[in-house]
Structure 1
Amino acid sequence: MNTLKLGALVVTVAGIGTTATAETLRLSHQWSENDVRHQVAQVIADEVAAADVDLDIQIYPNQTLFKAREQYTPLSRGQVDMIVLPLSYAGGQQPAYNLTLMPGLVRNLDHGDRLSHSPFMERMEEIMADDDVMVLVHGYLAGGFGSNQGCITAPADVEGVTIRAAGKAFEQMLAGAGASISSMASSEIYPALQTGVLDAANTSSESFVSYRLYEQLDCYTPAGDTALWFMYQPLLMNKSTFEGLSEEQQAALTDAATNAEAFYLEEGKKGDETATETFRDAGVEIAEMTPEDFDAWLAIARETSFPAFVEETPDGQALLDMALEVE
């Protein structure tokens, strides 16, 4: 009789173990599933699943959970667990974030990677922590110009042009060059070009391709050897959610993040080449920015975007100096 009772107990305990369900985290972003930013999220989801630590990550692409510019606040409140976000989208909540899309601040993707692991970024992460947000995967992407009003390489090319830029600092620089600014998420550029709301746009190489902007543009200025546009677009996580996980789950996430970050950097470099080839194959004219063009843009930025950031941001000069110190 005692043996039968023990057997029943073993079966019951085993049954509990096999029916336990893994914890599920929700990850939101604005892009399609063929975009590198989705692929970065997928690396995290796949590697965490393979680690077998009772943790699943459900990805919600294409703004299916939150609109692109509305993700940061829900993340900070724990209403979503993870997001991939161009951080300057949240510049209204934290003005310091506008520095992550500052003209001429980043020279190439390797420089962006060094910036991501510098005292400057440590200070940015302290600001995020105050909002209960943490970085899981760092990443910068390069970008360029696309236009229906002639090719854009030098500041004079945007005079009278209605253009979308991704963040406040670029908007200030472009306005300083005589452009009219229309603010929107990258997911809204295609219909805006299609309906004539926009004449031109700044965005990442990946977004130029994944949103098929080559269907709506006459000329494309890629990142190329001289790139002005670099934007920090990390995978962020709610800090309290991360801290509430088990040590094994946290380790699975951070291990996956290390691999995802390396993937992000390499794919970002490939993305610039892919964008140029895609636009050329689509019959779009390709223009190249020269070092002289870059210097002309930077001169305007130093008169507009740089001082405005310092004036509008607590400790703005110190943050700018920290970023500029990164070689």
Structure 2
Amino acid sequence: MAKLGKGLAALALSTSFVTIAQAAETMRCSHQLPPAHHIAVVVDKWAAEVEKLSEDEIDVQIFGADSLVKANDNILAVAKGDIECAFSLNFQWGKTLPLMNVTVGPYTMSSIEAWKKWPTSEAAAFLEEKLAEKGIKNIAWMFQTNTSVFTSKGKPLTKPEDFQGLKMRGIGPAFDRGLVAMGATTVSMPGSEVYQALATGVIDAAITDVAAAYSRKYYEVQDHMTVVPVLAAYLHGYVNPAWYDGLSDKSKAALKQAGEAAAGWALEASIEASAHAPDQLREKGVTVHIATDEENAAFQAAMQPSFAEGFAEESGEDGKKLLELIKKIK
């Protein structure tokens, strides 16, 4: 009987472990960034923090580099419930929610001090409401860059006239208007496809985060890069609302706390990456030019009116309200 009792106890213990294991909520998170990207590292750190704070109630599974869902399909996949979670760059919302493009306005929000205030700002809360209307629950804001590069081959892009006749990877309808105003033709494609497009001549040039130019190895296919504070970009994490509603209070609190922590980590990592990237690119043989105040003023004058017109058309009264809220933190 003793042996039988021990056997039953072992079986009961085993069953309890299975029950606990089954109770863990699987959270598949898709994003497009390569493993070496500084924000991809932050996403991994965030995932570990969620598991720790939820005491393993949530099993976070990260799928980077477009390995689960393609970048342009992430939003719909989460809204439909095909996956639980994804991270997207703000300009990937395109015309679906053009308000998300507000920070890519040429020279609109490049202040690090403003970005420190962003996650808890009225502007961010306003966007979270609009994201909810599109069928997703926002859980994290991760500042990625306020320092971009215009990449090119053969000669640098240092003034608006240099863009005449270039075929470039664009980042979204409103911002691309500024590139077109300078004479470029824009092509839409995911970040993961840009390297190959540059290598094969499908496009002549690109605009990207200065750190991404290094982590995506653009230096192998472009030899000139002009550093410009032309736009600010962020990655944001979001989940399926129905999945979120099924979580325990502990798990919901874990997501909130981890998201707040990750916002700080992303800001620190982005500042560091932007500081080191120009020298890293130079070490790879790239001619790096830091745009002067005069050059930035010329780019702003050429690009900003077209962006403002496009953003106003796409976002309407909501866009005006968001710009007013952003003024409070600039």
Asked if 1:115 is matched to 2:118, the reply is yes
Aligned equivalents of 1:104, 1:84: Cα separation in 2: 24
> Gaps spanning 5+ residues in structure 1: where?
none
Amino acid at match of 2:69: F
Residue 15 of structure 2 corresponds to which residue in structure 1?
16
**Structure 1 residue aligned with 2:175, among 170, 182, 191?**
170
How many Å apart are 1:236 and its aligned residue? 2.0
Residue 312 of structure 1 corresponds to which residue in structure 2?
314
1:287 aligned counterpart, secondary structure: strand
How many Å apart are 1:297 and its aligned residue? 2.1
Aligned equivalents of 1:11, 1:218: Cα separation in 2: 65
Residue 139 of structure 1 corresponds to which residue in structure 2?
142
Amino acid at match of 2:285: G
2:81 aligned counterpart, secondary structure: coil
**Structure 1 residue aligned with 2:230, among 228, 233, 257?**
228
How many Å apart are 1:243 and its aligned residue? 2.3
Aligned equivalents of 2:63, 2:276: Cα separation in 1: 25
1:63-106, Cα deviation, whole Å (9 max, x unpaired)? 11111111111111221111121021112212222224221111
1:253 aligned counterpart, secondary structure: helix
Q: Which moved more, 1:135-144 or 1:70-79?
A: 135-144
2:232 aligned counterpart, secondary structure: strand
**Structure 2 residue aligned with 1:251, among 222, 230, 253?**
253
Aligned equivalents of 2:279, 2:119: Cα separation in 1: 28
Q: How many residues align?
A: 323
**Structure 1 residue aligned with 2:161, among 143, 156, 171?**
156
> Gaps spanning 5+ residues in structure 2: where?
none
Residue 80 of structure 1 corresponds to which residue in structure 2?
83
Alpha-carbon spacing, 1:318–1:258, altered in 2? closer, same or farther (3 Å): closer
How many Å apart are 1:299 and its aligned residue? 2.1
1:155-191, Cα deviation, whole Å (9 max, x unpaired)? 2221222112322222101111111111212111111
Alpha-carbon spacing, 1:258–1:158, altered in 2? closer, same or farther (3 Å): same
Alpha-carbon spacing, 1:112–1:220, altered in 2? closer, same or farther (3 Å): same
The answer to whether the 8 Å contact 1:165/1:203 transfers is no
TM-score (norm 1): 0.91
Would you identify which runs of 4 or more consecutive aligned residues in structure 1 move more than 3 Å? 3-13
Identity in percent: 27
**Structure 2 residue aligned with 1:210, among 215, 223, 226?**
215
1:267-311, Cα deviation, whole Å (9 max, x unpaired)? 001111232122100111011112222222222333211022112
